[in-house]
Amino acid sequence: MITRNSRFIVTIVLIALLSLALCIYFPWWMIAVVAFSVSALVDQSPSKSFWCGFLSIFFLWMALTSIIDSANQHILSQKIAKLLPLGGSSLLLIFLSSIIGALIAGLASLSGAYFRKLLKS
Amino acid sequence: MRFIPFILSALATIGLVVVLNSPINTGGTSIPPLGKFLSPQVGLWQNAKTESFDAANSIQFTGLRGKSSVYFDERMVPHIFAADDRDAWFIQGYLHAKFRLWQMEFQVRAASGRLCEVLGEKIGNASLLDRADRNFRRMGMVYAAENELKEIEKDTMISEAVHAYTDGVNAYINNLEESQLPIEYKLLNYRPEMWTPLKSALLIKYMAFDLSGKENDFEFMNARSIFSPADFDQIYPTRHDSIDPIISNSAALQAARINLKLPANVDSFYLQGYDTNHVQPLEPHPNNGSNNWALNGHRTVTGKPILCSDPHLALNLPSIWFELQVHTKNFNAYGVSIPGAPFVVIGFNDSCAFGITNSMRDVRDYYEINFRDDSMKEYFFNGEWKKTKFRYERIAIRGKPDFIDTVAYTEIGPVVFDKHFDGSRTTNGKYYAMRWKAHDPSNELKCFALLDRARNYNEYTSAIHFLHTPGQNAIFAAKNGDIAMTAQGEFPAKWHRQGDFVMEGKDSSYFWQGMIPQEENPHQLNPERNFVSSANQYPVDPANYPYYLGGQFAQFRALMINRLLSETTGASLQDMMKLQTSNYNLLAEMARPVVMRSIDENNLGNSEKKYFELMKNWDLQNDPDEKGATVFLLFWNQLEHEIWDDEFGKTKLPMLWPQKGTTLEGVLKDTSFKFADNINTPEKETVSQDILAAFKKAVPKMEEAESQGNLAWSRFKGTRISHLLRLDAFSRGDLDVGGGDDIINATTSTHGPSWRMIVQMSDPTLAYVVYPGGQSGNPGSKFYDDFVSDWARGNYYIAWIMKEGESKSNRVIGTLKFEP
């Protein structure tokens, strides 16, 4: 029997791992497909589902971009952050990237949860 | 109604994905598809990854013949050890694409008038369509490249090289994943096209435009409409007093093989006639020029020749040059290549070194065409109506329907200016066909292919004979001790002032009557003075040459280089570095005594006195922190206005501003210089009065610069290296660099030495090199601009001329292996 808390965490990890793997071969918006599908399979409230998707991609993208960025010594991120313009702040660029991914995954998870409800009814 | 929340959230998700997967156009600037662009696995972050080399696995391509290896040194310079020549060219194409794909494609886009396709019709308020694309189409760039390609295809060696190079570029593109696209493609949201041999030919034509696309025919027509012939000759002389030509003390060349026939009305109509025009063509950068020189063993400390070369071009990132070593069993060349074409262009091999500077000769003229009517279908030529050929230029424009430009082609060439094209400038409604040497069939790439493997003077000579346009002063130094210089190119044999003005096109009487035979090009092997040099000055004394040279030649760098070289004995490589980065201002040296004589310090105010003292005590070096250099420049610019504004203010038509050397000659002549007088005042001003007035008027500008903390020369000049898209974030600004216009270190604000090379022809060869950029075209790489600071400081790197069997050296930071 899985507790609700651990279900929440397992879902987050599942979305992150599947997104990471599938985005190697498919377009970036696979994160939405993954978040939707996983949330449609796991029984959770819509609001919890939203946060699952949101947090999953937020942390995944933040981790990925941070690792790349520190290995790159912020060379590119500072330039792009000047261009966009984000005042040349690498952190802001990482944050913006992560939030955008998180929003999409969150909304997709929400849709997934509603979809599950629709089927059950 | 349980489906409503699902529908809403699903729509929101899909909507957000669609919006973030599409580019956003906000009027002028376009924002890339943000979701895609910011995603860690396909977007910009992938461009932040360090260069990786999979040394364990070979890259396999069916086109290859044998096993080859590429070793990258600590500056990311590739050393190609290829199984055979063809494989070497394939690999060069592959590497150019790997490091510079976006740049090489973009440059060819510019050359072929296809920028609007990816950038849209306008940049800000400027019309990219009229200013760039239509201009390049109408001047026949693609037509010229097609003619070049026909010659390439006829030549077994060059055809094989260009096709192998193309295959190499395409091998890279075919294996390129979206995540690995250069960042510029991601920003502008488009994808690379396949490379073709025509694109390499287009790049050669872009060089021809950049280095031989300069002429002043319309500006001279305008000037002639307001100046008397005598005044015109003084303002735009065809020979200067202080002349130090490339080929020194040349005897007069009498046996000119082309007997020039002057048109019957040349004096009455052409040279004296008055006509007004309002056309100003798109022009390459006026500072495009270069230095090169070579000393033989009598002047060097080792007794071996030293060759130095530094081409001056627009300072851009990614850099115009890509450094490499190419080794096959047939040759071993080191130097710089141009992304987009095979071969080393400026460099050296195991036997000799070679470099080029621009010839500055005028090889582009305009003829007035008389069409029967506005349809341009027939034109009058040699007493009859001839049929026009048309070329329909379809220009794709991002976000808009295609634009079709119809260009009429006569026997003379493309009718660049007509009733439908004024290039957002005012025209007089006349038709002008362009006769440009770059349209003629030629095979310039063969020059570099053969130079890369040249072993001696004779092979150098036969190599450079393939270089027709742009004409270049080709320098040579060999291990056997030979040094040589040739004012190389295929130049039209012109009569005096032919092509300085637009010409009559109703018959062939004003046509070029032939090309100067190659052996009549000024050249020199092992001259008595023990050095050869060129810096875009007159190739020979015009008085000693039977053909008209045309063009505007530089003066001061050449005078300075030759002065320093003739004083040089026992030269070391370090001496040559000092010379190549010299900031000495010769113009100021020649002008300052007159200034000091003309201004009485007692008549100056306190602030004026301060700046006067700065100029007086200045050591004439345009070093980064020198204030005197800024004071002198502000004064000199003002003096030119003091002298010429009255004459040039007579018209709003564009005219060519007189050269500094011409103004200086007038200033030194003093009382006999008629243009010192301001024609708008009743009194008769003298040179001294002009100097005093100019100085007083310049002082407020000096005060302004000082109040902004910009009086130090490098601050005032503000050298920057701009990304090709002019994106500040990808550019390097405010470099602390000295030098300037007409100074050996020819670094101005946006232009300068684009490759500094010093080669000692000893055993082993010793070479010092640097360029203002980096090997990688990726702004996210530390190799993007890692040479810039050293270049700015005047530092050099020792080129690693790698030998076979050195692959285990700790200088190797990466390896790529190729096999069939």
- Number of cross-chain residue pairs from A and B with Cβ atoms under 8 Å apart: 116
Helix, coil or strand: residue B798: strand
Q: What is the pLDDT of residue B253?
A: 65
Partner residue facing A118 (CB), from B3, B49, B780: B3
**With an 8 Å Cβ cutoff, are B729 and A80 in contact?**
yes
CA B176/CA B92 separation, integer angstroms: 17
More confident residue, B614 or B241: B614
Q: Measured between CA atoms, how close is A118 to chain B, in angstroms?
A: 6
Q: What is the pLDDT of residue B472?
A: 96
Contact A75/B at CB under 8 A: yes
Q: How confident is the model at residue B5 (pLDDT cuts 50, 70, 90)?
A: confident
User: Does a structural domain hold residue B591?
Assistant: yes
Partner residue facing B730 (CB), from A36, A46, A79: A79
Contact B779/A at CB under 8 A: yes
**With an 8 Å Cβ cutoff, are B13 and A75 in contact?**
no
Contact A87/B at CB under 8 A: no
CA B411/CA B413 separation, integer angstroms: 6
Chain A residues whose beta carbon lies within 8 Å of the beta carbon of residue B34: 100
Q: What share of chain B is helix, strand, coil (3-state, %, to 5)?
A: 35, 20, 45
**With an 8 Å Cβ cutoff, are B49 and A104 in contact?**
no
Residue in A with minimal Cα distance to B15: A104
Reference B296, options B458, B569, B481, B475; nearest CA is B481
Q: Measured between CA atoms, how close is B778 to chain A, in angstroms?
A: 9
Which pLDDT tens digit goes with each residue over B499-552?
A: 999 899 999 999 999 999 999 999 999 999 999 999 999 999 998 899 999 999
Which pLDDT tens digit goes with each residue over B467-495?
A: 999 999 999 999 999 999 999 999 999 99
Q: What is the pLDDT of residue B698?
A: 97
User: Does a structural domain hold residue B698?
Assistant: yes
Chain B residues whose beta carbon lies within 8 Å of the beta carbon of residue A72: 48-50, 780
* Domain of A98, in residue numbers: 4-120
Q: Measured between CA atoms, how close is A29 to chain B, in angstroms?
A: 7
* Total residues belonging to chain B: 820
**With an 8 Å Cβ cutoff, are A108 and B13 in contact?**
yes
> What stretches of B442-536 show up as alpha helix (H) in DSSP?
444-451, 457-464
Query: Which residues numbered 780-809 in B keep a CB inside 8 Å of some CB on A?
Result: 780-782, 784
Reference B337, options B349, B327, B325, B328; nearest CA is B325
Tokens of B421: 């094209």
Q: Are B295 and B729 in contact (CB under 8 A)?
A: no
Partner residue facing A68 (CB), from B17, B49, B782: B49
User: Does a structural domain hold residue B626?
Assistant: yes
CA B493/CA B489 separation, integer angstroms: 12
Chain B residues whose beta carbon lies within 8 Å of the beta carbon of residue A32: 13, 17
Q: Are B551 and B360 in contact (CB under 8 A)?
A: yes
- Which residues make Cβ contacts (< 8 Å) with residue B783, sequence separation at least 6? B51, B75, B76, B774, B775, B776
Region B731-746: what's the mean pLDDT?
Answer: 95
Strand partners, B406: B392
Helix, coil or strand: residue A9: helix
Region B741-747: what's the mean pLDDT?
Answer: 96
Q: Measured between CA atoms, how close is A52 to chain B, in angstroms?
A: 15
CA B323/CA B300 separation, integer angstroms: 27
**With an 8 Å Cβ cutoff, are B43 and A28 in contact?**
yes
More confident residue, B570 or B127: B570
Residue in A with minimal Cα distance to B786: A75
Partner residue facing B17 (CB), from A64, A104, A121: A104
Q: Measured between CA atoms, how close is B15 to chain A, in angstroms?
A: 10
**Amino acid of residue B355:** G
**What 3 state SS string does B86-103 have?**
HHHHHHHHHHHHHHHHHH
Model confidence at B130: pLDDT above 70: yes
Chain A residues whose beta carbon lies within 8 Å of the beta carbon of residue B728: 82-83
More confident residue, A119 or A19: A19
Q: Are B285 and B209 in contact (CB under 8 A)?
A: no
Chain B residues whose beta carbon lies within 8 Å of the beta carbon of residue A40: none
Q: What is the pLDDT of residue B29?
A: 57
Q: What is the pLDDT of residue B425?
A: 47
Contact A47/B at CB under 8 A: no
Percentage with pLDDT > 70 across chain B: 95
DSSP string, B250-316: PPP----SS-PPPPTTIIIIIIT-------------TT-EEEEEEE-GGGBSSSS-EEEEEEEEE-E
Q: Are B280 and B425 in contact (CB under 8 A)?
A: yes
Contact B727/A at CB under 8 A: yes
User: Does a structural domain hold residue B621?
Assistant: yes
Chain A residues whose beta carbon lies within 8 Å of the beta carbon of residue B317: none
Interface test with B, best of A20, A26, A29, A94 (most B CBs within 10 A): A29
Q: Measured between CA atoms, how close is B2 to chain A, in angstroms?
A: 6
**With an 8 Å Cβ cutoff, are A29 and B12 in contact?**
no
Q: What is the pLDDT of residue B24?
A: 74
**Amino acid of residue B374:** D
Which pLDDT tens digit goes with each residue over B436-462?
A: 999 999 999 999 999 999 999 999 999
> Average model confidence (pLDDT) for chain B?
92
CATH code, domain with B632: 1.10.1400.10
Contact A46/B at CB under 8 A: yes
Contact A68/B at CB under 8 A: yes
Partner residue facing A115 (CB), from B6, B20, B46: B6
Q: How confident is the model at residue B289 (pLDDT cuts 50, 70, 90)?
A: confident
* Domain of B649, in residue numbers: 586-717
Chain A residues whose beta carbon lies within 8 Å of the beta carbon of residue B44: 76, 80
Q: What is the pLDDT of residue A24?
A: 86
**With an 8 Å Cβ cutoff, are A118 and B16 in contact?**
no
**With an 8 Å Cβ cutoff, are B41 and A24 in contact?**
yes
Q: How confident is the model at residue B618 (pLDDT cuts 50, 70, 90)?
A: very high
Reference B428, options B368, B364, B338, B346; nearest CA is B368
Contact B23/A at CB under 8 A: no
Chain A residues whose beta carbon lies within 8 Å of the beta carbon of residue B9: 107, 110-111, 114
User: From residue B190, how far is each of A67, B42, B102, B106, B394 by CA, in Å?
Assistant: 27, 14, 11, 12, 19
Region B767-784: what's the mean pLDDT?
Answer: 97
Which pLDDT tens digit goes with each residue over B412-421?
A: 999 999 988 8
Total domains present in chain A: 1
Q: Are B448 and B324 in contact (CB under 8 A)?
A: no
**With an 8 Å Cβ cutoff, are B729 and A79 in contact?**
yes
Exposure string over B256-278, b if 16+ CB within 10 A, otherwise e: eebebeebeebeeebbeeeeebb
Which pLDDT tens digit goes with each residue over B36-62?
A: 999 999 999 999 987 777 666 778 898
Reference B314, options B735, B723, B622; nearest CA is B723
Partner residue facing B13 (CB), from A23, A64, A104: A104
Region B213-228: what's the mean pLDDT?
Answer: 86
Q: What is the pLDDT of residue B262?
A: 85
Q: What is the pLDDT of residue B22?
A: 84
**With an 8 Å Cβ cutoff, are A101 and B35 in contact?**
yes
Q: What is the pLDDT of residue B225?
A: 84
Total domains present in chain B: 1
Burial of residue B55, with CB atoms counted within 10 A of its CB: 0-12 exposed, 13-18 middle, 19 or more buried:
middle
Model confidence at B252: pLDDT above 70: no
Contact A64/B at CB under 8 A: yes
Q: What is the pTM of this model?
A: 0.94
More confident residue, B127 or B786: B786
User: Does a structural domain hold residue B675?
Assistant: yes
Q: How confident is the model at residue B681 (pLDDT cuts 50, 70, 90)?
A: very high
Which pLDDT tens digit goes with each residue over B341-388?
A: 999 999 999 999 999 999 999 999 999 999 999 999 999 999 999 999
Q: How confident is the model at residue B267 (pLDDT cuts 50, 70, 90)?
A: confident
- Which residues make Cβ contacts (< 8 Å) with residue A119, sequence separation at least 6? A40
Tokens of B705: 């610069």
**With an 8 Å Cβ cutoff, are A108 and B780 in contact?**
no
Contact B47/A at CB under 8 A: yes
CA A96/CA B153 separation, integer angstroms: 52
**With an 8 Å Cβ cutoff, are B10 and A24 in contact?**
no
Q: Measured between CA atoms, how close is B20 to chain A, in angstroms?
A: 9
Contact A45/B at CB under 8 A: no
Q: What is the pLDDT of residue B430?
A: 86
Reference B341, options B321, B358, B312, B315; nearest CA is B321
Region A87-116: what's the mean pLDDT?
Answer: 94
Model confidence at B276: pLDDT above 60: no
Q: What is the pLDDT of residue B251?
A: 63
Interface test with A, best of B45, B725, B727 (most A CBs within 10 A): B45
Interface test with B, best of A57, A61, A80 (most B CBs within 10 A): A80
User: Does a structural domain hold residue B615?
Assistant: yes
Contact A114/B at CB under 8 A: yes
Chain A residues whose beta carbon lies within 8 Å of the beta carbon of residue B784: 75
